[in-house]
Amino acid sequence: MKRLAATALAGLLLAGCAAATFAQSSAPAPASGPLAESVPSDLPRIARPLHYAIEVAPDAASLAFTGTTRVDIELYERSDSLTLHANELEFASVRLTPAGGGSAVALQPEIDAAAQTVRLVAPAALAPGRYSIAFEYRGKINTQATGLFALDYPDKRSGETVRGLFTQFEAPDARRFAPMFDEPSYKATFDLSAVVPAGQMAVSNMPVASEEPLADGRKRVTFATTPVMSSYLLFFAVGDFERLSTKGPGGVDVGIVSPAGSGEQARLALESTPPLLEYYTDYFGVPYPLPKLDNVAAPGQSQFFGAMENWGAILTFERFLLIDPTITDPATQNYMYTALAHEVAHQWFGDIVTMAWWDDLWLNEGFASWMETKASAKFRPDWFPLVGRVNGRETAMGYDAFATTHPVIQPIRTVAETSEAFDAISYSKGEAVIAMLEAYAGEDTWREGIRRYIQRHRYGNTTSDDLWRAVEESGADGLVEIAHDFTLQPGVPLVRAESRCRQGTTALELAQSEFSRDRKDEVAANPQRWRVPMLIKVGSAAPVRHVLEGSASLELPGCGAVVVNGGQLGYFRTLYSPEMGQALVEALPQLEPIDQLGLLRDNFALAQAGYQDAGRALDMLVEVPGDANPVVALGAIARWGQVHGVASEAQQPAVATLAREAWLPRLQQLGFDPKPGESLVDTELRGDLIRILGNIGDDTVAAEARRRFEALATDPTALDGPLKTTWLGIVARNATAAEWDRLAQLAATAPTAVERQAYFALLGAPKDAALAERALAFALTGEAGTSSAAIIAAVSREHPELAFDFALANRTAVESLVDASGRTGYIAGLAAASREPEMIGKLERFAESVPADERRSVERSIAGIRERLETEPRLAREVAEWLAARAG
């Protein structure tokens, strides 16, 4: 309790300087005039918000809150009504007062639940001008991460269950907190205050400006006024928190707000933040504009996101922010850093400058994803983030090669379409395209363009073209056309390559077509056209830049293996002639790690889609050296797992033997236990080697997992460390009923929310169908809180039919376990790993039960299953032929 009081006092002192900073700086006013017709909107274009003053009084125990909100607006034309967004708010009174004074009139609220709006009808027509609307209302506190929501978790000091409140507003859920013009272009300033228990800490975007004790044991906390910003960035949290803080560049107060008792677990995130702020301040050419930046650890989880960039108050789910040495695994620690780098980048790209509408969501997400990798490469080079970027490109191409894909910039009209836009195309294709364009422009020109863009549009809203124009003006001639090719049309270019060596020169023939996984013949007959920037590497000669338009015949100095997508910066696939492919197989051990990984993934994808026999990819896989870069090794061992998965049962032992021969020595060299001071990627590689070699039946690994699990009976700390979830994962997958019961007991008694989440998810991992059914039944008891949906999702990996049928049979109950905005996608995802033809019909019937604008995720699952059913028998045959040829 002492710590809380001290922190509150510090907040109070800071608030004074915050107010002063804003009074002195030229904080811009909101835009004026009706919203442009070019920006989509649900609301009539007759008014705009200028300022909100919101006060909420949450009643955490009864999951409800009362609110009073004053919205200052400007009305641009005569009207007898005003429309704002509101969702699940009950209005007690709405009154309107002219800004210059005058008597208040009551407005009649007419709720349109489907449109998520409230129309306020005035007794007589209102003249254009400024008004204040005062609302008194009640709202709901949700139990999933939507609007204002509650998380129950064990207190780290007492073990008692306590409740914290948090908000999640992106994209359409600020309207569940207060009536608002809840669209990104309606920027305004916000004053927030809250009536909360006196002993708790309240957090918002800005520092606390004042705290006033109330007679009933509560207090009123008032936060300083925000700068002009979009409603989806507003944030509020309250609970038994503690705050670890430090000073960032320019005196910015940097804090990590954690569940009380977290102590030093927040240290790494805290210390990682100021260098990022400094790096971005330099990169964007504009300092971080708020007096403080908090990152709030929420002890729960969502099926959809790990963190959210609320301005000045990032929300991150606890397991992605706080290091718990007993359980945090290396992949999570890596995610932790990239999530931090991502959200801090959004403080500029997204928060200072915001997309005008959700059709440009990718501009936020693709850019922040690209920036997180760039920043990680600067501060964590030993994790090889740039090599790992290849995997993001593959995820994007995985979606983008199906007919169900969409352009990076896509028309968005409804709330449901907005939710679906948070996908691999916006994030990973966005990142890959930006990386390609940066390489095309050159690093310095690109940065110059970004600085120009941020300067020009500070506190405003933009479209993608505003960014392209700024970069082209900075010297990147031709960039706009390339950017349009890759963002306005969907799909993946395919570049066919043939070459000959003549007198020390390589004659290279290139032709652009289109890569597809489900419409190969169709796109081959009529491919889309792209201008494709590439960096061609021939042997050890200096790489050559080229922009392919259609086809080209190039004479390149030197001879040797040719990598058409050198450095893997281009967003395209390359189909090499058999001779070029063979030369690459032989040269693979000597290539740059990023090209090794890129070629491996590219050739596996080409085999999967049937562009070439799987033999080429398998030849490359066995050429990956045993001492490869750890990120390449991670990619190789994952491919072995994939090959084992498609091979027929008769062939699986031979695949397992090859995988073991290739990678068991690396595991032996790393050892089963982490070594002090080793790099994070080595720890991650050890975990993946254990997991995959264990899954494909390496007895030593499975026996070791069981031995360690048994040791837990006498020593509860026996498994503590970065590989805890790896070992437990192997046990859970092969669990007996007694072992499953033991895991359930560990989940119920785990001392922290993060450990509980990990154990709960493991309950869904067994191969045994009876145990999987027990896990599904358990998920509905609600005992696992926000982990319930994760249990069902875990079951779906091994038993998709079981999980999907269960979710449909218990649809209302299962949907209540998932954030409101992603329920259809969640259920469709449960079926995604299916290999049953009947599942296609089930999904089609499910699609009919959801609105048309929510069907994309269902169509994706169907397309994936169709393709799997079609390709796996062929791949199994090709693997068998390759094995036979090797043995012969």
**Binding footprint of Zn ion on the chain (CB under 5 A):** 365, 368
Where is 552: in which H helix or E strand? strand 551-557
Beta bridge partners of 510: 497, 552
Tell me, rounded to whole angstroms, the distance of Cα 633 from its chain centroid: 24
705: Cβ contacts below 8 Å, ≥ 6 apart: 690, 694, 727, 730, 731, 734
Pick the closer one to Zn ion by CB: 368 or 396. Answer: 368
CA-based nearest residue to 490, from 426, 438, 582, 570: 426
Residue tagged active-site, from 211, 318, 343, 365: 343
DSSP state of 425: I
Other CB atoms within a 10 A radius of the CB of residue 578 amount to: 11
Q: Are 681 and 386 contacting, i.e. CB atoms less than 8 angstroms apart?
A: no
What is the distance between the alpha carbons of residues 341 and 685, in angstroms, rounded to a whole number? Answer: 23
The CA-CA-CA angle for residues 749, 751, 757, to 5°, reads 80
Write out the DSSP string of 559-620.
Answer: -S-EETTGGG-SSSEEEE-HHHHHHHHHHGGGS-HHHHHHHHHHHHHHHHTTSS-HHHHHHH
Two structure tokens written together for 14? 């800071």
Bond preceding residue 134 cis, omega within 30 of 0: no
Task: State yes or no: is 343 an active-site residue.
Answer: yes
What is the distance between the alpha carbons of residues 698 and 663, in angstroms, rounded to a whole number? Answer: 11
- Which residue has the CB atom at the shortest distance from Zn ion? 368
What is the distance between the alpha carbons of residues 632 and 624, in angstroms, rounded to a whole number? Answer: 8
CA-based nearest residue to 756, from 713, 790, 799: 790
Pick the closer one to Zn ion by CB: 346 or 469. Answer: 346
Strand order in the sheet with 129-140: 105-106, 90-98, 129-140, 64-75, 47-59, 189-197, 218-223, 208-213
What is the distance between the alpha carbons of residues 278 and 220, in angstroms, rounded to a whole number? Answer: 34
What is the distance between the alpha carbons of residues 65 and 79, in angstroms, rounded to a whole number? Answer: 32
884: Cβ contacts below 8 Å, ≥ 6 apart: none
What is the distance between the alpha carbons of residues 244 and 543, in angstroms, rounded to a whole number? Answer: 48
CA distance to 208, 234, 237, 498, per residue, from 148 (Å): 19, 11, 8, 58
Q: Are 188 and 168 contacting, i.e. CB atoms less than 8 angstroms apart?
A: no
Pick the closer one to Zn ion by CB: 362 or 604. Answer: 362
Other CB atoms within a 10 A radius of the CB of residue 871 amount to: 18
The CA-CA-CA angle for residues 36, 40, 41, to 5°, reads 95
Two structure tokens written together for 548? 């392919």
Pick the closer one to Zn ion by CB: 243 or 342. Answer: 342
Write out the DSSP string of 207-251.
Answer: -EEEEEE-TTSEEEEEEPPP-SB-GGG--EEEESEEEEEEE-GGG
What is the distance between the alpha carbons of residues 128 and 37, in angstroms, rounded to a whole number? Answer: 19
Burial class (CB in 10 A: 0-12, 13-18, 19+), 641: middle
Pick the closer one to Zn ion by CB: 118 or 339. Answer: 339
What is the distance between the alpha carbons of residues 299 and 286, in angstroms, rounded to a whole number? Answer: 33
The minimum distance between CB 342 and Zn ion, in angstroms, equals 5
The minimum distance between CB 350 and Zn ion, in angstroms, equals 7
Q: Are 70 and 387 contacting, i.e. CB atoms less than 8 angstroms apart?
A: no
User: At 533, phi and psi to the nearest 5?
Assistant: -75, 140
The minimum distance between CB 143 and Zn ion, in angstroms, equals 24
Identity of the residue numbered 447: R
What is the distance between the alpha carbons of residues 351 and 228, in angstroms, rounded to a whole number? Answer: 10
Q: Are 63 and 49 contacting, i.e. CB atoms less than 8 angstroms apart?
A: no
Cα Rg, the chain, nearest whole Å: 28
User: At 90, phi and psi to the nearest 5?
Assistant: -110, 120
Look at strands 313-317 and 292-298 and give their pairing.
parallel
Where is 420: in which H helix or E strand? helix 415-420
The minimum distance between CB 340 and Zn ion, in angstroms, equals 12
Active site residues: 343
